[in-house]
Amino acid sequence: MAVAHHALHAHSQFVLKLLAHPILKLLAAVGGLAFLIYFIIWSLPKVGRPGWKGCLTIVVWSTLIVIGHGVTHIGESNAEAVLHQLQHMMGTIGFILLACIYALFLAMPFVAGVEIGLLIMAIFGETGVLVAYVGTLIGLSLAYGAGRLLPTSLLQKWLQKLGLQHKIEDVDDLLEQMVRGETWLCRFGEALLRNRYVTLAVCLNFPGNSVIGGGGGLSLLSGMSKRLISWPYFLLMTAIATLPIPLLVLFGFLNIDRVVEHSGWLHDLLDFLYNGLPLT
């Protein structure tokens, strides 16, 4: 991934000319991401090469990631104008509506709604901090509730279509079977599962988590868990995990404008990894 990222930047002018049409850009982004995901899965220890159903799932996954990223980052200046207009036209009701809209965006899997929350905080200051924080709790709770309402039979059908050989009762059973074994990867997975609320808190705050579903996707999976992730502890974990940034902004320890301007966390990480590779 680091090498591919460097190659795209090195030949950016040629790539932009070659992919002048938006449809070509979308297809290239989905195809390139799907290939990288396939390569990563294929290279993992004790993981077989994905079949045609697995490949189809990877393509759908890649499409969701690309579209979600595009929806989040399309026209930030236009989004700022719309947010200002909404606030001026509707006052307090506009802030309530804004919190609900943000919550719906955040509840959608693969949509990086965190950037929208940062934009709200940057535009509206202290009031925006409250709107973003409350909207975050509502959005993640909506996704959790949707996962809890999904019937187990539907989950079993999905897992069977993905080609899983062993019978899976629910998502908890799936997670527990995934970490069985004596390899370091299984032991690491078992440690993550044992400290599952800490793991979720880290994943919710990790830059680029939209690749694994974002806050909405993680909350949806949490809701699908009937035994491992309980509602009261999930709500408490969410309230604590999403509190640091609003508090830092509220007390003036974090300049949110600089955070919004700099959105290339993943790019910087890939550049750092490429510079550390032993290439000649």
pLDDT (tens place) for every residue of the chain, 280 residues total: 778 777 777 877 787 777 777 778 778 888 888 888 788 777 766 556 777 777 887 788 788 777 666 655 554 555 556 666 666 666 667 677 777 878 887 887 776 666 677 777 877 778 888 888 988 999 999 999 988 887 767 666 666 665 554 555 666 776 777 667 767 777 887 888 888 899 889 888 876 676 677 888 889 888 888 778 888 999 999 999 988 888 888 887 776 655 555 455 566 666 777 787 776 4
Whether residues 121 and 251 fall in one domain: yes
Q: So what's the pLDDT on residue 72?
A: 54
Total count of domains within the chain: 2
Whether residues 68 and 99 fall in one domain: no
Q: Would you say residue 271 lies in a domain?
A: no
Q: So what's the pLDDT on residue 75?
A: 47
CA pair distance 86, 84, nearest whole angstrom: 5
Q: Would you say residue 62 lies in a domain?
A: yes
Whether residues 86 and 65 fall in one domain: no
Q: Would you say residue 97 lies in a domain?
A: yes
Is residue 197 left, alpha or beta, with left meaning phi > 0 and alpha meaning psi from -120 to 50? alpha
Whether residues 251 and 112 fall in one domain: yes
212 secondary structure, DSSP code: G
Q: Are 105 and 83 in contact (CB under 8 A)?
A: no
Local structure of 278: helix, strand or coil: coil
Give the burial class of 81: count Cβ atoms within 10 A of its Cβ; 0-12 exposed, 13-18 middle, 19 or more buried: exposed
Q: For residues 193-229, b (16+ Cβ closer than 10 Å) or e, as one string?
A: eeebbebbbebbeeeebbbebbbbbbbbbbbbbeebb
Q: So what's the pLDDT on residue 66?
A: 76
Give the burial class of 279: count Cβ atoms within 10 A of its Cβ; 0-12 exposed, 13-18 middle, 19 or more buried: exposed
Q: Would you say residue 270 lies in a domain?
A: no
Q: So what's the pLDDT on residue 165?
A: 47
Whether residues 123 and 245 fall in one domain: yes
Q: Would you say residue 274 lies in a domain?
A: no
Q: So what's the pLDDT on residue 148?
A: 85
Tell me which residue range forms the domain holding 241: 80-262
